[in-house]
A and B are shown apart, each in its own frame.
Chain A
Amino acid sequence: MLNYTTKEIKERSALVVNPAKTCQPIGAMYAALGINKCLPHSHGSQGCCSYHRMHLTRHFRDPIVASTSSFTEGACVFGGKSNLSKGLETVFELYNPDIVAVNTTCLSETIGDDLTEIIKSTNLPEDKVVIYANTPSYVGSHVTGFSNMTKAMVSHLAKKERDVPSNTINIIPGYVEPSDMGEIRRMLKLLDIPSIMFPDTSGVVNAPNKGKYEMYPEGGVTIEELKATGDSKATVALGSFSSKEAAYELEKRFDIPPHILKLPIGIKATDEFLMSLLSLTGDVFIPEELEIERGQLLDVMIDVHHHYHGKKVALFGDPDIMIALTEFVIDLGMIPKYVITGTPGKEFERTIKGMFEKADLKECVVKAEADLMTLHQLIKNESVDLLIGNTYGKYIARAEDIPLVRVGFPILDRVGHSYFPTVGYKGALRLIEKISTAILDKYDETCPEEDFELVM
Chain B
Amino acid sequence: MKSQEFLDKVLESYPSKVMKNRKKHIIIKDSNEKQEIAANTRAIPGIITNRGCCYAGCKGVVVGPIIDMVHIVHGPVGCSYYAWNTRRNKGKIREGGKNFLEYCFTTDMQESDIVFGGEKKLAKAIDEAVELFKPNAISISATCPVGLIGDDINQIAKQAQQKHGIPVLAFNCEGYKGVSQSAGHHIANNKLMKDIVGTNDEEVIGKYKINLLGEYNIGGDEWEISRILNKVGYKVVTTMTGNSTYEEIARAHQADLNLVQCHRSINYIAEMIEIKYGAPWMKVNFIGVESMSTTLRHIAKYFGDEDLMAKTEEVIAEETEELLQEMATYKEKCEGKTAVLFVGGSRAHHYQGLLKEMGIETIVAGYEFGHRDDYEGRDIIPDIKLDADTRNIEEITVEKDEQKYNLRIPEDRLEALKKEIPLGDYAGMIKDMEDGTVLIDDLNHFETEMIIKALKPAFFGSGVKDKYMIQKMGVYSKQMHSYDYSGPYAGYRGAANFARDVVAGIFTPAWQYMKAPWKTQPILNGKVEEGVEKVC
Contacts and interface: CB of A to CB of B under 8 A. Distances in A.
Partners in one complex: yes
Interface of A: 1-2, 4, 6, 10, 12-19, 21-23, 25-26, 41, 44-48, 50-55, 57-58, 61-76, 83-84, 86-91, 93-95, 105-107, 110-111, 136-139, 141, 207, 209-215, 342, 373, 392, 395
Given A4-B103, A4-B132, A213-B473, A139 B110 contact: yes
Given A10-B132, A19-B108, A47 B102 contact: no
A41 B465 CA distance: 15
Contacts of A211: 472-474, 514-515
Contact of B77 (A22, A54, A70, A83): A22
Interface string B38-50: 0000111111111
A95 B449 CA distance: 11
A69 B47 CA distance: 9
Nearest to A399: B102
A52 B83 CA distance: 11
Contact of A50 (B50, B76, B121): B50
Contacts of B86: 54-55, 58
Given A46-B51, A73-B389, A15 B128 contact: yes
B411 interface: no
A50 B77 CA distance: 16
Given A16-B108, A89-B46, A94-B47, A209 B472 contact: yes
A105 B79 CA distance: 11
B466 A63 contact: yes
Given A4-B133, A51-B78, A73 B176 contact: yes
A72 B389 contact: yes
A45 B46 contact: no
Nearest to B81: A22
A86 B110 contact: no
Contacts of B111: 136, 138-139
A70 B468 contact: no
Q: Chain B interface residue count: which class?
A: 35 or more
B465 A50 contact: yes
B128 A14 contact: yes
A68 B53 CA distance: 12
A88 B46 CA distance: 6
B341 interface: no
B179 A93 contact: no
A138 B131 contact: no
Interface in B34-66: 42-56
29 contacts: A6-B132, A14-B121, A14-B123, A16-B107, A17-B105, A23-B77, A23-B81, A25-B78, A47-B175, A48-B53, A54-B86, A54-B463, A57-B464, A57-B465, A58-B86, A68-B49, A70-B44, A72-B176, A73-B176, A73-B389, A76-B148, A86-B45, A90-B45, A94-B46, A106-B76, A137-B75, A138-B114, A210-B472, A213-B470
Interface in B113-172: 113-114, 121-125, 127-129, 131-133, 143-145, 147-149
B507 interface: no
Contacts of A209: 471-472, 514
Contact of B144 (A21, A106, A207): A106
A106 B75 contact: yes
Interface string B341-376: 000000000000000000000000000000000000
A14 B107 contact: yes
A57 B82 CA distance: 12
A73 B128 contact: no
Contacts of B113: 138
Given A23-B77, A65-B445, A15 B129 contact: yes
Contacts of B471: 209
Contacts of A45: 53, 144, 175-176
Nearest to B98: A4
B106 interface: yes
Nearest to A107: B144
A86 B52 CA distance: 20
B433 to A, nearest CB: 27
A89 B471 CA distance: 29
B46 A14 contact: no
Contacts of A2: 102-103
Given A14-B124, A76-B148, A89-B46, A48 B473 contact: no
B45 A83 contact: yes
A67 B46 contact: yes
A18 B80 CA distance: 9
Given A4-B133, A139-B111, A90 B77 contact: no
A67 B47 contact: yes
A244 B206 CA distance: 66
A146 to B, nearest CB: 14
Given A95-B446, A138-B113, A50 B45 contact: no
3 cross-chain pairs, A with B, having the tightest CB-CB distances, nearest first? A47-B53, A23-B78, A87-B45
A19 B81 CA distance: 7
Given A51-B82, A94-B14, A14 B125 contact: yes
Contacts of A88: 46
B536 interface: no
Contacts of B123: 14
Given A48-B175, A54-B86, A209-B472, A16 B77 contact: yes
B48 A95 contact: yes
B280 to A, nearest CB: 35
B465 to A, nearest CB: 5
B175 A107 contact: yes
A391 B522 CA distance: 46
Contacts of A50: 50-53, 56, 465
Contact of B44 (A17, A90, A139): A90
B469 A87 contact: no
A339 B54 CA distance: 36
Nearest to A62: B468
